[in-house]
Amino acid sequence: MNVMALHGFLGEGADWTRFAEAAGVELDAPTLPGHGPQPRPVPPHFTAWVAWLCERLRLSTSPVHLLGYSMGGRLALATALAEAHSGRVASLTLLGATPGLLTPKERWDREHADRERAVRLESAGLAAFLDEWYRTPLFAPARQAVGHRTLMERRRHGQSAALASALRTAGTGVMPNLRPGLCQLRIPVLTLAGTLDDKFHRLGRELAGGIPRGRFAAVADAGHSLLLEAPETCARLWTEFINPEDRS
């Protein structure tokens, strides 16, 4: 089985380790451009990110089960749509992902906010940015689960300028609204979101409802940081989704 898994903003491929161990699979989990201690060059715009991933898919000798968390989920969805008629994607699983913002005004506002965050990241440095980032309400369940210091420690190896560039070119504000294309996906699609993550719980249901073979599953007592808070539960739900005949 070929499986590719994409991490979220500030993350790295190793974020999928506990998920892979629980699922009993080997993953192609690349550290995305702009991330990690020795980051790859950042694609110049969102479409170029998708093209980079499509090229990686084409290296596989068989269709790929594609997964993505948060930013990685947005990229995975866009990539699956770009490859909708190629047969290269066997299934798609999205953890805490959005199909994009609905209106140009919403996209402009979010792009502006992300650009301000990028400037803050460059000017204040990674440590100060992480401290602010992980104090937002979105990560309250993760702070409760592992503590603020642990969240900071997991992300301290990135490079500020490269991460800022990734935020500018792959943030939610610069991605298109992907909803109109969802009906083109004929592959099985699973969306996951934590029950404590109201926004992405709603978006996960919306996504699954707009895809012909879409299915939503809630992850009990988890927030947005699913790979940290509930990797074993996510792995079980994914395994049942991939191998429904094995479901007890």
Whether 140 is in a domain gets the answer no
| Integer Cα distance of 10 and 34 in angstroms | 9
What's the pLDDT score for residue 244?
A: 75
Residue ranges with strand state E in 58-182: 64-69, 89-95
What's the pLDDT score for residue 245?
A: 67
What's the pLDDT score for residue 243?
A: 87
Whether 162 is in a domain gets the answer no
What's the pLDDT score for residue 27?
A: 94
Q: How many domains does the chain have?
A: 1
Whether the CA torsion 49, 38, 147, 122 is positive or negative: it is negative
Whether 139 is in a domain gets the answer no
37 touches 63 (CB < 8 A): no
Q: How far apart are the first and last CA of the chain?
A: 21
Whether 150 is in a domain gets the answer no
Residue 67 sits in a domain whose CATH number is 3.40.50.1820
What's the pLDDT score for residue 248?
A: 44
Domain region containing 42: 2-103+175-246
What's the pLDDT score for residue 78?
A: 98
Q: Tokens 């770009």 identify what position?
A: 82
What's the pLDDT score for residue 246?
A: 57
Instruction: Count, in order, helices (H) and strands (E) of the chain.
Output: 11, 5
What's the pLDDT score for residue 144?
A: 92
Per-residue pLDDT of the chain (248 residues; tens, 9 = 90+): 999 999 999 999 999 999 999 999 999 999 999 999 999 999 999 999 999 999 999 999 899 999 999 999 999 999 999 999 999 999 999 999 999 999 999 999 999 999 999 999 999 999 999 999 999 999 999 999 889 999 999 898 899 999 999 999 999 999 999 999 999 999 999 999 999 999 999 999 999 999 999 999 999 999 999 999 999 999 999 999 998 765 44
Whether 97 is in a domain gets the answer yes
